[in-house]
Amino acid sequence: MEILSSIFDINYTFFKVFDYQMSFIEFFGTITGLISVWLATRANIHTWTIGILNVIAFFIIYYQIQLYSDMFLQIFFFGTSVLGIWQWLQKKPVNSDKRISSLKLKSQILIVCSILILTAFLGYAVARIHIYFPDYFNNPASFPYPDALTTILSIFATFLMAYKKIECWVLWILVDIISIFLYFQKGVLFISLEYVVFLIMAIIGLFQWLKSIRYAQRISLR
């Protein structure tokens, strides 16, 4: 049991990359995250099963590096992964009429305001979580407000992506940029590098969806 707990410790050295000490949990979490995203591009149901392994690994990592908002976010991702498995097993036909679109200005303003308000509440709570629950959180949260922001952005981006709203990619890009900084500062460089890859993928996704919208507009004008 002691050996198992040490393997999941962020300070346990699995191997070294130049002078960087790679922990097993960071390596496992990053690899499963990349595999999950790759499987998602192929519409493979195992994107959800591998994603659950990724969620568990990241939950453990974020607890140890005091990014508590990100830690709680993994519970949300765990739920969406289970829901994703259930929905994909139903083998229902995809609604081909659901096209990529953008939000109206009023909805965009509402979402921005909601993100800011929820970030303020979550950041405030997480910044004091070691005071509220000292038995479970021995150390204060690191970067509570930027961490809270990435959590709230990720939740909104997930729902916007489900409804094929192009603004989801803007939110994912913001999440990736902030996450690169956070994980670099916390010394988990492999995860920080992973988010560089995610940033590139999000930018590509944004341009692909913009291209789809322009194509649909040209078709509608004919």
Taking a C-beta distance cutoff of 8 angstroms, is the pair 10, 61 a contact?
A: yes
CA atoms within a 13 Å half-sphere pointing along the CA-CB vector of 190: 24
Question: What does the pLDDT profile of the chain (222 residues) look like in tens digits?
Answer: 555 567 777 767 767 766 777 888 888 998 998 898 888 767 688 888 999 999 999 999 998 888 899 999 999 999 988 988 887 787 654 444 467 788 999 999 999 999 999 999 999 999 999 999 998 888 899 999 999 999 999 999 988 887 888 898 999 999 999 999 999 998 888 889 989 998 998 898 888 888 877 766 666 656
Nearest-5° Cα angle at 205, 201 to 208? 135
Total count of domains within the chain: 1
Closest CA to 155 of 99, 111, 197, 125: 111
Domain housing 141:
2-91+100-221
Q: Return the bridge partners of 165, or none.
A: 101
8-state DSSP, 23: E
> How is residue 23 written in tokens?
């922990």
Taking a C-beta distance cutoff of 8 angstroms, is the pair 182, 141 a contact?
A: no
Region for residue 44 given its phi and psi (left: phi exceeds 0; alpha: psi -120 to 50; beta: otherwise): beta
